[in-house]
Amino acid sequence: MTASWSLSKLLAGLHDDIEQRLARARASFGHPVTKGDASEHVWLELLQTYLPLRYRAEKAHVVDSDGTFSEQIDVVIFDRQYSPFIFNFEGQIIIPAESVYAVFEAKQAINAGVIDYAQKKVATVRRLHRTSLPIPHAGGTYPPKPLSHILGGILTFESDWSPPLGEPLMAALSQSAADRLDIGCVAAHGMFGCDDTGCHAIIPKGKPATAFLLELIARLQNSATVPMIDTRAYARWLDR
């Protein structure tokens, strides 16, 4: 007899695992840096396991062909199918700006200060210069791909607000597209999403982390493919 499967239970189980691991990380470690590193690892492992293989997720800096660097970002989601290189030196990963799809900050709890901090970190990536070359094909060339919006967001275990995803959160998220947080997860309570029309909370009963993962994949699909990078723009730094 075929065993009885439940998609609802599978999806809920994925969330339960993430929430419980985040709770253990917060309860088990006394040092703030160690606690933060453990929480980042939980989110990175989720994305590294469940995102399609064309994407990679790592803690990293981002650099552009002008030689400008972002601040270190807790979670960078980037292309590995078409991007030609990543700098990896002694465990420090540096990713070309053209390869980036999304960036996230991972914290213990969400509040106004954390949102402001995350917005500023996301902005250090979005303001980097990105090249985009014409794309050759059998019949000629396609024009350069327009640069897509780099998704930005925040990942936390819980919220310092009551209610956790109420009006104070929505007010703090109201920003221009340059530093907007597009998507975020508060694993113990729910998630939020923002676009050009505004921000809204989503509270899926029992499955916030899973709901976030599926929504993120949907948004990545809408981003299509990263632009064709001009590697010669980076190569000019070899002579300096």
From CA 208, how far away is CA 131, in angstroms rounded? 36
The one catalytic residue in 107, 121, 182, 207 is 107
From CA 209, how far away is CA 212, in angstroms rounded? 5
Q: Could you confirm whether 64 is annotated as catalytic?
A: no
Q: Could you confirm whether 74 is annotated as catalytic?
A: yes
Return the axis-axis angle of helices 208-222 and 32-50, rounded to nearest 10°.
Answer: 60
Residue 21 has a CB neighbour count (10 Å cut-off) of: 20
Residue 77 has a CB neighbour count (10 Å cut-off) of: 25
Q: Could you confirm whether 105 is annotated as catalytic?
A: yes
The one catalytic residue in 40, 105, 182, 215 is 105
- The one-character DSSP state at 69 is B
Residue 45 has a CB neighbour count (10 Å cut-off) of: 13
The answer to whether 126 and 152 are in contact (CB under 8 A) is yes
The one catalytic residue in 40, 74, 98, 182 is 74
Q: Which of the residues are catalytic?
A: 74, 105, 107
